[in-house]
């Protein structure tokens, strides 16, 4: 494989792991506020990010390339509100989408077809990753943070499976 692309995929592994780390930090914030449903949603999300990282990990190994893990930054640990958390989730996923799109362009230019096919999976996945927090934020428009509707939202997010 082209060394630039290998490096970029290795960097993406670190980014996916950072995403998981960030969502775990958000889960900790929700736990601290006794919002176990919101925490469940974030822990579920964190597990998905590990899967995203492992899919790239396996791909590089299958292609006979070396996985080189980078340092994971410290994630934010204080948030202003439930809404703030989901806004930051959406913003973060938009940066991940941009990063995946860059990888796809790179793979396309290099005519690395296995990478192109792999990245198509991630492109579809990012549609979902942006849709989920967007839907939660749309519902939150109707909710005041000190209202009982927050408990209902928390119950709904507890159902993520
Ligand atoms: Mg991801």
**Ligand 1 centroid, distance to 24 Cα (angstroms):** 13
Domain spanning 3-157, CATH architecture? Up-down Bundle (1.20)
Residue 33 has a pLDDT of: 96
pTM of this structure? 0.95
Residue 145 has a pLDDT of: 83
Q: Where are the domains of the chain?
A: 3-157
Residue 11 has a pLDDT of: 98
Can you tell me the mean pLDDT for 120-142? Answer: 97
Cα–Cα distance measured from residue 29 to residue 40, given in angstroms and rounded to the nearest whole number: 12
Can you tell me the mean pLDDT for 7-24? Answer: 98
Q: b/e map of 108-136 (b: 16 or more CB within 10 Å)?
A: eeeebeebeebbeebeebbeebbebbeeb
Dig out the tokens for 133 from the structure.
């927090």
**Ligand 1 centroid, distance to 93 Cα (angstroms):** 7
**Ligand 1 centroid, distance to 125 Cα (angstroms):** 8
DSSP 151: H
Residue 6 has a pLDDT of: 98
């Amino acid at each position: 494989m082209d060394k630039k692309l290998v490096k970029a995929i290795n960097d993406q592994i670190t980014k996916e792991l950072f995403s998981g780390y960030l969502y775990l930090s958000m889960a900790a914030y929700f736990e601290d506020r006794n919002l176990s449903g919101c925490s469940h949603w974030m822990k579920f999300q964190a597990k998905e990010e590990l899967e995203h990282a492992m899919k790239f990990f396996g791909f590089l190994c299958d292609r006979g390339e070396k996985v080189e893990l980078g340092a994971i930054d410290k994630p934010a640990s204080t948030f202003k509100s439930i809404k703030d958390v989901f806004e930051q989730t959406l913003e973060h996923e938009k940066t991940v989408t941009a990063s995946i799109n860059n990888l796809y362009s790179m793979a396309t230019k290099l005519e690395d077809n296995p990478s192109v096919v792999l990245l198509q999976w991630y492109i579809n996945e990012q549609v979902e990753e942006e849709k989920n927090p967007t839907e939660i934020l749309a519902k939150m428009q109707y909710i005041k943070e000190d209202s009982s509707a927050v408990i209902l939202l928390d119950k709904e997010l507890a159902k993520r499976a």
